[in-house]
Structure 1
Amino acid sequence: MTQRTPALAHLAAAYGIATEFWDWQGRHTEVPDETVVAVLAALGVDVSGDFADRELDRAQEREWRRTLPPVLVIAGGESATLPMHVAPGDDVSAQLVTEEGAEHQLAVGGGKPEEREVDGVTVRRLLLEVPSDLPLGWHEVVVQAGGQGARMPLVVTPPRLGLPPGLAAEGAQGWGLMTQLYAMRSSSSWGIGDLADLGDAGAWAAGLGADFVLVNPLHAAEPVGEMEPSPYLPTSRRFVNPIYLRVEDVPEVGYLSAAQRQLLEWHADDAQRYLDLDTLERDPVWAAKEAALRLVHAQPRSLRRARAFEAYVEREGQGLVDFATWCAISQEHGTWWREWPQELQDARGEAVEAYRQEHEAEVDFHCWLQWVLDEQLARVQRDLLDTGMSLGVISDLAVGVHPDGADAWGLGDALARGVTVGAPADQYNQLGQDWSQPPWRPDKLAELGYAPYREMVRAALRDSGGLRVDHVIGLFRLWWIPEGAEPFQGTYVRYDHEAMIGILLLEAHRAGAVVIGEDLGTVEPWVRDYLRERGVMGTSILWFERDWEGDGRLLDPEDYRELCLATVTTHDLPPTAGYLEGVHVDLRSRLGLLDRPLEEEMAEEARSRDEVLTDLRRRGLLGEDADVTEQVQALHAFLTRTPAKLLGVSVSDLTGDTRVINQPGTDEEYPNWRVPLAGPDGKPVLLEEWVTWRSARRLARTVDTSGQDEGQPLPDAAEGARTKRTD
């Protein structure tokens, strides 16, 4: 065991590594030295032997070795000073060039400059005055000192993200669908829900007054072999999974010959035979769809279409080329890039460039897939806005990526090696969780001017009216676990949350989008306050909304947060009908996940559910003999009495589904993320079926407080809820 020294403690502090924390039970916990040493190593800091003092000196002097910091991120309207390090006596000039090309001279602040000896040379620190009236955007500071030049990105972000006009008014409230798109299928989709299905479901909801459709992460998965079923463990967060394409909607299908069209239909029939199964089969579906897409890709393009594709590739730049190259190499060597030939493991190496040129057609195919995805996503968003939705699609951003995926290969040391992301022990996972994902390196992100993070966020927002950020607390701190250690043996590493949140808000502001942070679980109290002040919505799940700082009572609806997305359920819980029936307790018992007897767990769950239902009865939202369907409706009617700006209704609740989508703490023990949308009888149900159901329409109208569709009589619970909101 490494003996903790003052140098080790100071190094940990310099790199934002926690050496202590308070656990979920309020106990003060010391982080083992082995953990601190391993996390420092993942950040490129070697503290073996007597190197700790040397590394500490380097850490304390690193900013003095730079003419300018790597990046500066500030909120609009704020004045700031920018440190610049030069030799005494150097002639200095500094200017700021805005994104639009305007130039501003930067003045050196008053006061006596600080000096320090670094490597035997005297270095002087000057402070440049940054104007407070800069426009929002990505600007650049350019300095000349002693004949040497230096440049630095300066990012000006919104102090607060405003709400769109339809939601900004006092008392305004919008609602929308929440769906796992792959599970929400139609008879026209190829065994997996696709973007055309997303558009059709959204159009149905828009007709009932909906403002958005919140969809699971559509991030890219493996292009060959077994496709990872979890949308929260993608191979890339910047690009999209082509399994969501509707093949027939690609314009070049029109150029297919009769024989080729017949072959495409054969592929479609092959994929659609999986619609009747009780579990989703991504691999054979993608095999059929990929074969059809290769047929379409080989067709000629009009000059207009060819130029549009070229423009897309140019816009996406090296990131797209890297992703497409990774896909091409994966076709030959598999998707685990750390098992590729050594010379192909370096994304910037000469061997990779040679491979790219040799396999130009395959790289082009994967670039083309992303282009047609971009087109179909944009079309869905345009169509939903045209139907009257105020937001349209709300995308979902996963917390991380697969360690052997395209991002882990292409982003290089921007992601930390030798550690994974997870969560410390809590009341639901008392040994902690390991999500097997490499985290961003805070130091490398800064050195790169946050460019990889910006491009990821920008891509997620491109065709969206909003972005849900999974585990938004990860923009403040993440739980790093050294490889080979247990999840509870990790520690927190802090990020520059002002930069991370600020850049997120800048890109959302430019996209005209809202941001929803998934802020459930263990959260430092000040973090929710900070997010609210910056205009980031929180997430409120009805079952968990209690006065946790007081007596633990259920929150009254008027005590809910205004700036939040309020829902009854989420993808880590069963659909509401299943939750009311306790199916999750039965499942956890069968899987051996309970830490107390089944009877005790069932009794506690029943007590908690009955407490909520009793409260609904007291408020006149639920009758004494109400069945499960009426209970689901009353729970959603309760949400309309809250001030929450957004209300979400799971498509699974619209169909009366009861099956669990994802059971945390399991892998192959349960078919997580492979359960198709079903009806109350547990049998798969297709989109064109459930949109005709009166029960689905009734539940949707329960949460619509806009006054639309007044010609139809409302259920009693919804009528009461609407009266409450109008008053």
Structure 2
Amino acid sequence: MDLSTRAAELGLEREFYDAWGERRVLSEAALTALIEAIPAPTPHPLLKAPLVIRDGDASADALGEPAAFPLRWTLHCGDAEICGGLAEHRPVPVPTVLAPDVYRLDVTDRAGLADSRAVIVAPRRAFAGRFHRTWVLTLQLYSLRSERNWGIGDFSDLADVVRLAARAGAGGVGLNPLHALFDDHPTDCSPYSPNSRSFLNPIYVDAARAPGLPEGFAAGHADRLDALRAEALVDYGAVADLKWQALRAAFAAFPRNAAAADRAEFDGFRAERGELLAHFACFEWLRRRHGGPWWEWPQEWRRPDTARLAELRQGRDGEEIAYFEFIQWLADRQLRECSEVAAALRMPVGLYLDVAVGVKADGFDAWHAQDAISRQASVGAPPDLLNTAGQNWGLAGFSATGLDRALYRPFRDMMAASMRYAGAIRLDHVLWLQRFYLIPSGFAASEGSYVRMPLEALLAVTALESARHQCIVIGEDLGTVPEGFRDRLADHGIWSYQVMIFERQYDGAFKPPEHYPANALVTFGTHDLPTFAGWMSGHDLAVKHGLSIDPGESEGDRNLARDRLGAAVHKPAADIELEDVLAFLDRTPSRLLAVAVEDLLQLRDQVNVPGTIDEHPNWRRKLPADSAALAAVLDPEQLRRVLASRAFGSPS
């Protein structure tokens, strides 16, 4: 079979048009490398992959290629057989009146060929929210200062900010991804490079509130804590060193010092999260035991085996493994408390959480779902106006064939892990639901291409989980967007992500408020873009030039853009203030507005400069204000005046 035929079978596009409209063709070497990286599809498929039944669909045909009738078929939900029978002709009579869920359809034809596929029964649309219009305060959790934290913002700080935001009229608080990273490598701190999207980063635990923590632990490290709090940047190594000491001490004392209710709650958490949590804890122990990436571990541990891992947990290392379950329980408990604070204050959104586009290849998710995650190619983005060299994010993404074989369970686990706390989530780079830009190992970011994904299936599963958790889903639909993609998202109730900096007409003019869709989150910028003060001053251009990065625009371009902004807000460019931009965004019909705390504090430095790691203090800069100072900038009267149509009122 030639390369082009193999690529077509895998959904791999050998050529595409970039942001400048230029045709890019994948080299034969890069094409070969990508073909080898993508799992092969099922040979001789009898069934479509997968079958999607949305609420209101009258009928569905599961069959793909012609089959030798009669066909014996069964439909399963989990381990239970729902129905089945013998089909003498097409279509296979799969019932359309089924509870929303993901089922497995098995068929065997007269010639003995067998096939199995997912059947997704989903609501017509995702959860739409129970509010007309509101706004959320967005921030980076690590950046929060307080007199009591341990040198990094934590979940107790978050609860305080939720209260402040509610008093200011906000409907929620938006955060950087809270995914589990590699806690034994704390300086690798990008929240978009997770070990697992199914678990939390325990560095955000308020260790002083850990049940079982020996009395006087914090007092014994008072000088060290004061020094960590005073730092302008988060010292992840020193913070982690102290927190892990405290949490291990708390765990050691937990059986004898903790209240019975705490012990019962921990047991309940372990039972609720079940096998996934048990496997994660074992992975964390194995990672420390064997080092290196999991594909170089002893053969018996290269794939998760439930029976073997259960033996491991019950053996002499069981207590050490249980420690990783313990710190996940603490993180879950404290983040849930933040969500409960928001609910008690009647915030219509509560927490708004971010979900990364991929995972590190040597992390838990890629090990646990290795048939559904392609680790031998990295996801990224082709060259565009903002990043002219393209982007390689160093992350592994889902595989279309692997997801279907796994009945979309890894994707569902990923979303449910954030939705359990949130009233809204943002899917980073949501374009991957239709196609991933993949870069083969050893090639430049500009030498990748797209692989198609099962869009309808992924949208149906997204709507299913959204309705199940009553959680809005916002798709970060920036970049090179395929024609019709946003319409497909909207048809399934997935909200758009509208960034004002990018919403410009062909002549550079800012699009008017009525251009923005209703079911959308609208914001001035993002963590990867300049702050308002940075953009207005051109500080971001100077920073990028200093880092030898092409900023994608000249100072003249920026001056023109500022003039265009002035025209949009009806002010001379030199007189534009943040409240003018917020008032403009408030006039859009979009139901959700995000206001960045960095903009309220008039900070010039952006959170992250794409294309840098150690060259710039990404994900490390603290806010220059503690909660008292934040209360001052979150002035309810000023914000209600600017956001007159969005403030939901004082919580009762």
TM-score of the pair, normalised by structure 1: 0.82
**Structure 1 range deviating more: 398-407 or 350-359:** 350-359
Aligned-residue sequence identity (percent) comes to 32
Query: Quick one: distance in 2 between partners of 1:336 and 1:272?
Result: 37
Match 1:76 to one of 48, 55, 70: 55
Query: Quick one: distance in 1 between partners of 2:305 and 2:343?
Result: 41
Match 1:574 to one of 511, 530, 546: 530
Deviation at 1:154, TM superposition (A): 2.4
Query: Quick one: distance in 2 between partners of 1:580 and 1:85?
Result: 58
Match 2:483 to one of 505, 516, 525: 525
Query: Quick one: distance in 2 between partners of 1:18 and 1:145?
Result: 32
**Structure 1 range deviating more: 278-287 or 211-220:** 278-287
Query: Quick one: distance in 2 between partners of 1:313 and 1:480?
Result: 36
Deviation at 1:574, TM superposition (A): 2.5
1:217 matched to 2:180: no
Deviation at 1:88, TM superposition (A): 5.7
Q: Do the aligned residues in 2 keep the contact of 1:19 with 1:31 (CA within 8 Å)? A: yes
Q: Could you tell me which amino acid in structure 1 is paired with residue 503 of structure 2? A: E
Q: 1:286 to 1:656 in 2, by over 3 A?
A: same
1:594 match: 550
Asked which structure has the greater CA Rg, the reply is 1
The count of aligned residue pairs is 644
* Residue-by-residue CA offset, 1:111-156 (whole Å, 9 max, x unaligned): xx5xxxxxxxxxxxx4313333333223454668789998754221
Query: Quick one: distance in 2 between partners of 1:625 and 1:664?
Result: 28
1:312 match: 269
Query: Quick one: distance in 1 between partners of 2:332 and 2:411?
Result: 19
Query: Quick one: distance in 1 between partners of 2:95 and 2:67?
Result: 25
Q: Do the aligned residues in 1 keep the contact of 2:356 with 2:427 (CA within 8 Å)? A: yes
1:416 match: 374
Query: Quick one: distance in 2 between partners of 1:359 and 1:572?
Result: 42
Instruction: Name the SS of the counterpart of 1:81 in structure 2.
Output: coil
Counting only pairs closer than 5 Å after superposition, residues 248-397 of structure 1 correspond to structure 2 as: 248-250=208-210, 252-253=211-212, 260-267=214-221, 270-298=224-252, 299-300=254-255, 301-334=258-291, 336-337=293-294, 340=297, 344-348=301-305, 356=313, 357-397=315-355
Q: 1:106 to 1:195 in 2, by over 3 A?
A: farther
1:39 match: 34
1:116 match: none
Q: Do the aligned residues in 1 keep the contact of 2:498 with 2:522 (CA within 8 Å)? A: yes
Query: Quick one: distance in 2 between partners of 1:297 and 1:158?
Result: 43
Instruction: Name the SS of the counterpart of 2:398 in structure 1.
Output: coil
Query: Quick one: distance in 2 between partners of 1:196 and 1:104?
Result: 49
Counting only pairs closer than 5 Å after superposition, residues 462-541 of structure 1 correspond to structure 2 as: 462-541=420-499
* Residue-by-residue CA offset, 1:178-214 (whole Å, 9 max, x unaligned): 1111112222221111111112111111112211111
Counting only pairs closer than 5 Å after superposition, residues 699-714 of structure 1 correspond to structure 2 as: 699=639, 701-706=641-646
Q: 1:152 to 1:30 in 2, by over 3 A?
A: closer
Name the Cα RMSD after superposition. Answer: 3.0
1:184 match: 144
Instruction: Name the SS of the counterpart of 2:61 in structure 1.
Output: strand
Q: Do the aligned residues in 1 keep the contact of 2:69 with 2:109 (CA within 8 Å)? A: no
Q: Do the aligned residues in 2 keep the contact of 1:75 with 1:157 (CA within 8 Å)? A: yes
Query: Quick one: distance in 2 between partners of 1:707 and 1:406?
Result: 41
Q: Do the aligned residues in 1 keep the contact of 2:563 with 2:573 (CA within 8 Å)? A: no
Q: 1:382 to 1:269 in 2, by over 3 A?
A: farther
Query: Quick one: distance in 2 between partners of 1:508 and 1:595?
Result: 37
Q: Could you tell me which amino acid in structure 1 is paired with residue 99 of structure 2? A: P
TM-score of the pair, normalised by structure 2: 0.91
Q: 1:707 to 1:504 in 2, by over 3 A?
A: closer
1:636 match: 582
Q: Do the aligned residues in 2 keep the contact of 1:71 with 1:449 (CA within 8 Å)? A: no
Q: 1:641 to 1:297 in 2, by over 3 A?
A: same
Deviation at 1:157, TM superposition (A): 1.2
Query: Quick one: distance in 2 between partners of 1:610 and 1:84?
Result: 56
Q: Could you tell me which amino acid in structure 2 is paired with residue 568 of structure 1? A: F
* Residue-by-residue CA offset, 1:264-287 (whole Å, 9 max, x unaligned): 433465344212222111121111
* Residue-by-residue CA offset, 1:32-87 (whole Å, 9 max, x unaligned): 22222211111245xxxxxxxxxxxxx695214xxx66753332222211239999
Instruction: Name the SS of the counterpart of 1:279 in structure 2.
Output: coil
2:122 match: 157
Deviation at 1:610, TM superposition (A): 2.1
Deviation at 1:262, TM superposition (A): 0.9
1:680 match: none
Instruction: Name the SS of the counterpart of 1:263 in structure 2.
Output: coil
Instruction: Name the SS of the counterpart of 1:176 in structure 2.
Output: strand
Q: Could you tell me which amino acid in structure 2 is paired with residue 62 of structure 1? A: H
1:49 match: none
Deviation at 1:633, TM superposition (A): 1.0
2:565 match: 612
Query: Quick one: distance in 2 between partners of 1:472 and 1:201?
Result: 28
Q: Could you tell me which amino acid in structure 2 is paired with residue 63 of structure 1? A: P
Identify which of structures 1 and 2 has the higher relative contact order when contacts are C-alpha pairs closer than 8 Å and 6+ apart: 2
Deviation at 1:232, TM superposition (A): 0.5
Q: Do the aligned residues in 1 keep the contact of 2:386 with 2:551 (CA within 8 Å)? A: no
Deviation at 1:468, TM superposition (A): 0.4
Deviation at 1:354, TM superposition (A): 6.3
Q: 1:475 to 1:625 in 2, by over 3 A?
A: closer
1:666 match: 612
Match 2:92 to one of 121, 125, 128: 128
1:28 match: 23
Q: 1:497 to 1:266 in 2, by over 3 A?
A: farther
2:14 match: 19
1:236 match: 196
Q: 1:203 to 1:89 in 2, by over 3 A?
A: closer
Q: 1:704 to 1:275 in 2, by over 3 A?
A: farther
Q: 1:128 to 1:643 in 2, by over 3 A?
A: same
2:630 match: 690
Match 2:408 to one of 450, 455, 467: 450
Q: Do the aligned residues in 1 keep the contact of 2:562 with 2:573 (CA within 8 Å)? A: no
Query: Quick one: distance in 1 between partners of 2:440 and 2:365?
Result: 20
Deviation at 1:306, TM superposition (A): 3.2
**Structure 1 range deviating more: 74-83 or 666-675:** 74-83
Query: Quick one: distance in 2 between partners of 1:314 and 1:478?
Result: 35
**Structure 1 range deviating more: 374-383 or 135-144:** 135-144
Instruction: Name the SS of the counterpart of 1:479 in structure 2.
Output: strand
Query: Quick one: distance in 2 between partners of 1:246 and 1:457?
Result: 25
Q: 1:536 to 1:501 in 2, by over 3 A?
A: same
Deviation at 1:322, TM superposition (A): 2.1
1:717 match: none
2:541 match: 585
Query: Quick one: distance in 1 between partners of 2:289 and 2:104?
Result: 42
Query: Quick one: distance in 2 between partners of 1:16 and 1:89?
Result: 29
Q: Do the aligned residues in 1 keep the contact of 2:164 with 2:634 (CA within 8 Å)? A: no
Instruction: Name the SS of the counterpart of 1:154 in structure 2.
Output: strand
Query: Quick one: distance in 2 between partners of 1:669 and 1:102?
Result: 56
Q: 1:97 to 1:347 in 2, by over 3 A?
A: closer
Deviation at 1:532, TM superposition (A): 1.3
Instruction: Name the SS of the counterpart of 2:164 in structure 1.
Output: helix
Q: 1:269 to 1:316 in 2, by over 3 A?
A: farther
2:518 match: 562
1:53 match: none
Instruction: Name the SS of the counterpart of 2:44 in structure 1.
Output: helix
Q: Do the aligned residues in 2 keep the contact of 1:178 with 1:649 (CA within 8 Å)? A: yes
Q: Do the aligned residues in 2 keep the contact of 1:221 with 1:227 (CA within 8 Å)? A: no
Q: Do the aligned residues in 1 keep the contact of 2:388 with 2:550 (CA within 8 Å)? A: no
